[in-house]
Chain A
């Protein structure tokens, strides 16, 4: 499905070149539910953006279904079957919730169709379809709409960057069902960047990215205990 080969990414900062990702290689098989986790600032979000083409890697290669997409645009990747849910949903003045869901679905969705997607993410559709996707919506509402756009796209691969951020725990329990449905019923491949134990629990495999490097990939039972061990103390004090 998706293969990252020796991906590195660096930015120029005041202190010179800063390496965000160092030689990360990763293969994600068809129909898998993958959780990518690791400490804040470790490069997870950058990795997700590189998959979608939002950032270009400094070096390395990305292969999607056998095609080298390293130099392809976001639009091309989207049309090949990739979707992306932003960690911080974007606001638009004058674009309504129904407009963005329709754009995502790429066909003339009926109002009922739009409502179905909104209901799935726990929004009472009637209250929302005619509202602007702007600052009048709360962070949690925007986040759910963001997830609904990915649902409406119905693509082979969906990448979610920290979908839990800004959503209350109670609602998140229901959202997890959405991801499970995409994975099990529609047999889509899902990559979720997350710190949520609930998500790590249902993932087929967990990938650990820390300090810009690939650390581990494996089943929950192998990875989780190692991860939790690392949270026992603060490095500052341990040193």
Chain B
């Protein structure tokens, strides 16, 4: 792996070298490293690009790293990854995609991730997207995440896209059975002329299932963002979506929350707020000796932390 690839890996997964435990590193469309453990198997798909990650029932306290890095300008790929999280397991999966585009052709990573979370299993999925490179070629990422959570299962989804991705269209669809729980935390920042669309659709099918979808975003310069969150309460359930956005410069942000109660005992809430940085916040930090620009940076960093 060269220096550019190493720096991407550090940026998206916090890795300086190969991680402990199970991992699969995909670089420029091919496999750059893999390790399996007694409880976690990783198998290359034969009919299409991608891998199956199979976690044995009862696997506890193990982690899986599956970073994707692209440093070749003009590479376009579509990858299918399926995660089978066995019953009663408790694992952390760190994914992420870093694109370094030094050329003038667009580099694009599209991925469809499917999660089958077994009964009473617990999984935390962390996904970080990052782009850089001095080239004029676009850096594009379109992740689709399909989630099925079985009875009593729990999934936490943490996604971060702070820098350098020119265009993203993110789709997350989840269905939850009895007692299942989904927690989503999304952090997004767009700048320049970037575009980001993020759409959530959650079906709360099982009794006492619950979902919380929280998005915090900052749109700077001429960038634009669209946030869609649709929660369908089809049983006795609790659903909550929240979009909190800071708008700056000439950016545009749309938040379109939708909640559908199809059961008398569905409790659904949506909150959406878009606004510029409060003037009084800037004033307070300026009385501490910060310039207006420094104050703004602190407020944005804190908001997306």
Contacts and interface: CB of A to CB of B under 8 A. Distances in A.
Interface string B269-296: 0000000001011011111111110000
B275 to A, nearest CB: 11
Interface residues of B, number: 22
A93 B302 contact: yes
Given A90-B278, A90-B281, A92-B281, A75 B302 contact: no
B298 A75 contact: no
Given A95-B299, A95-B302, A103-B298, A90 B289 contact: no
A94 B302 contact: yes
A78 B288 contact: yes
Interface string A90-120: 1011111001100110100000000000000
Contacts of A93: 216, 244, 302-303
Nearest to B285: A103
* Chain A interface bracket (under 10, 10 to 19, 20 to 34, 35 or more): 20 to 34
Contacts of A90: 278, 280-281, 283-284
B304 interface: yes
A201 interface: no
B61 interface: no
B48 interface: no
Interface string A56-100: 000000000000000001110011000110100110111110011
Given A93-B302, A95-B299, A75 B283 contact: no
Contacts of A100: 288
Contact of A92 (B244, B290, B299): B299
Contacts of B285: 103
Nearest to A159: B287
Contacts of B281: 90, 92
Contacts of A144: none
Contacts, number: 58
A94 B281 CA distance: 12
Interface in A180-218: none
A73 B285 CA distance: 13
B243 to A, nearest CB: 13
Quick one: which of A73, A89, A95 has the most chain B CB within 10 A? Answer: A95
A106 B298 CA distance: 14
Contacts of B216: 93-94
Contact of B288 (A54, A94, A103): A103
A179 B244 CA distance: 38
Contacts of A84: 287
A36 interface: no
A44 interface: no
Contact of A79 (B283, B289, B292, B298): B289
B290 A94 contact: no
B160 to A, nearest CB: 14
Given A90-B280, A93-B244, A78 B303 contact: no
A52 interface: yes
Contact of A78 (B286, B299, B301, B304): B286
Given A90-B283, A90-B284, A75 B303 contact: no
Nearest to B283: A54
Contacts of A153: 288-289
Quick one: which of B281, B286, B290 has the most chain A CB within 10 A? Answer: B286
Contact of A103 (B244, B278, B283, B290): B290
Nearest to B291: A75
B283 A74 contact: yes
A46 interface: no
A149 interface: yes
28 contacts: A52-B287, A54-B287, A74-B283, A74-B286, A74-B287, A75-B286, A75-B289, A75-B290, A78-B288, A78-B289, A84-B287, A86-B280, A86-B284, A86-B287, A90-B278, A90-B281, A90-B283, A92-B299, A93-B244, A93-B303, A94-B302, A94-B305, A95-B298, A96-B302, A100-B288, A103-B298, A104-B288, A106-B288
Interface of A: 52, 54, 73-75, 78-79, 83-84, 86, 89-90, 92-96, 99-100, 103-104, 106, 149, 153
Interface of B: 216, 244, 278, 280-281, 283-292, 298-299, 301-305
